[in-house]
Amino acid sequence: MRCLHCGTTIGFVRRWRDRQFCCDEHRTKAANGVYSARATRDEYDESFEESWLVRETTSKAAPGTFGPGKGVVLVVLATLLVVFLPGGPDRSAPPPPSYSPSSAANLGARLQNALPGRGSLSIREDFRADFRNWQSPLESMGDWRRVGRAVQLGGLRLWKPTLALHDYTLEFETEIQEKGVGWAFRATDPKNYYATKINITRTPGSKVPERAEIIRWAVVNGRHMAKTELPIPLSAVDDHGTYEVKVGVRGSRFTTVLNGQAVDNWADNRLKRGGVGFFNDPGEKATLHWVSISEKENFLQRFLSFSFYVHYSWPSPEE
């Protein structure tokens, strides 16, 4: 800030009294019309520079534009969103444990299958061994017999490793030579289970099926109830008598798929848990090639299903 008379810079203290002249003498001369040309030019340049700075600052801080205050507000809002909104990672929770081994490539898979809530149970039976895992009320091997790499079915046998299960998917391949084949699920013993059977009717001397039906019922405390018979589309029936069956057991809902076609879907809430089994009634003849079962389960269910110590007091043949 310069004096309007001589052009020198006005001192700091003087500015509090007079922002135009550096002393009273120069103010008196200016009042009498005595101005310096240089001072007049400098005053113009300085006033222009100050007015330009004022306009530039005003335009940057105009209403509706981004300023320092709004920046602070945005930072605070972003912090609150990160801290309080759900969906972000739980930083207070401990990291998930790692069970990866330092050696033995398959050890990790074994640990994963043994730990609670990890993986799914999946077991398969191809009948290459004996029938020790299949319980029979007669405790006799004579009602089931091996035929090549398959087993000829007889009376009801339950698969012991599955008896403690709840929800699962049962798959098997069977060949029907005469009439039909039956299976059980949600079975805890021979007096409590759901039963399903496929019946095939053929003209004597012909291999072409004339009629097919699915029959299902419940056995509760030894009593047969709620028996239902439904026709099966012949498009799902194989002329050679081989069938791939898939049964979904989920809660109180049960679905049966035959050779890729859904043939039955029903619900019942009498039995809450139990495994699977197979049977042929008198006059029926069928072989079972393989059977598998898979289930998402917790550690306790896994332990019970593999313990093989599920005992039942089977009735004697005289009962």
Non-local (6+) Cβ contacts of 131 within 8 A are 141, 144, 151, 157
Residues 25, 6: Cα–Cα separation, whole Å: 11
Average pLDDT over residues 29-48: 55
What average pLDDT does this structure show over 252-271?
A: 94
The set of residues, in sequence order, having a beta carbon less than 8 Å from that of 52 and lying 6+ positions away, is none
Residues 148-191: tens digit of each pLDDT: 889 999 999 999 999 999 999 999 999 999 999 999 999 999 99
Tens digit of each residue's pLDDT (9 = 90 or more) over 72-109: 677 777 776 655 555 444 444 444 443 333 343 344 44
Strands 180-189 and 275-279: antiparallel
pLDDT for the residue 59:
45
pTM of the entire predicted model: 0.56
Structural domain boundaries in the chain: 1-59, 121-307
Question: Which secondary structure element, helix H or strand E, spans residue 243, and what is its range?
Answer: strand 242-250
Amino acid at 296: K
User: In this predicted model, which residue has the larger pLDDT, 185 or 317?
Assistant: 185
**When comparing pLDDT for 41 and 132, which is higher?**
132
Whether the per-residue pLDDT at 319 is higher than 50: the answer is no
d(CA 116, CA 265): 31
User: How many angstroms separate the CA atoms of 246 and 198, rounded?
Assistant: 13
pLDDT at 42 over 50: yes
* Predicted confidence (pLDDT) at residue 55 exceeds the cutoff of 50: no
What residues does 184 pair with on adjacent strands? Answer: 195, 277
> At a CB cut-off of 8 Å and minimum separation 6, what does 184 contact?
156, 158, 193, 194, 195, 196, 276, 277, 278, 279
Distance between CA atoms of 230 and 213, rounded to whole angstroms?
A: 5
Four-way CATH pick for 121-307: 2.60.120.560, 3.50.50.60, 3.40.50.11540, 2.40.10.220: 2.60.120.560
Question: What DSSP letter does each residue of 274-301 carry, written as one string?
Answer: -EEEEE--TT-EEEEEEEEEEE---HHH
pLDDT at 69 (0 to 100): 64
Window from 151-160, 192-201, 234-243 with minimum mean pLDDT: 234-243
